[in-house]
Amino acid sequence: MLDFDMPSQAQAVRNVLAERGPHAALALLNDRTNFRFTALYKLEDGEMRAVHAFDRTSEYRTWLSAVPLESSFCRFAIEHGEFMTEHASADERLARPYAGLVESYYGHVLRNADGSPAGTFIHFDLEPRSIEQQEQAFLRDLVPLFGDHLD
């Protein structure tokens, strides 16, 4: 994405979220990356449940709907506030259970008003992908807006 007029780009995301809802805003943010999926996952009873998901290929898979927290990359985003892996099967930080599943992931925690984790905003793919530092900074400012859309 071109790095000009970031405040206008951020306002465009805010407007789309307010006027057309989270799915349209996720699509807009997905278009800024090479990731296939962009989603909001809600933490509920030890499980990460997809509440809104955008699939670039429009082949939304039911296996994306819910994942136990301990088996999810989201647990790392929740623990650290943010987590990224460009190539999970080659990432020495990750245990083997992740091999062969989601290959790339960028996640940012969404918090409740009391500061406790409510869920995550994520980009992910079945192929290795990366996300630029500038895009991560852009998302850090916008991701909290999605916290109200976890229901």
Which regions in the chain score pLDDT beneath 70?
1-4, 59-64, 95-100
Ramachandran area for residue 43 (φ above 0: left; ψ -120 to 50: alpha; else beta): beta
Nearest Cα residue to 105 out of 147, 72, 70, 56: 72
CA gap 86, 10 in Å, rounded = 24
- Residue 1: its pLDDT value, please? 46
Task: Give the pLDDT confidence score for residue 58 in this predicted structure.
Answer: 82
Q: What is the residue extent of each domain of the chain?
A: 6-149
**Would you state the pLDDT for residue 89?**
85
Q: In one letter, which amino acid is 6?
A: M
Alpha-helical runs (H) found in the chain:
6-20, 22-30, 74-80, 133-142
Averaged confidence pLDDT in the chain: 89
Whether the CA torsion 79, 60, 64, 24 is positive or negative: it is positive
Overall fold of domain 6-149: Beta-Lactamase (3.30.450)
Residues 125 and 150: their CA atoms lie apart, in Å, by: 21
Q: Give the Å distances, CA to CA, from 4 to 1, 8, 86, 114, 134.
A: 9, 9, 25, 35, 11
DSSP string, 28-43: HHHTTSS-SEEEEEEE
pTM of the model: 0.90
Tens-digit pLDDT profile for residues 96-114: 555 567 899 999 999 999 9
What's the pLDDT at 91?
A: 86
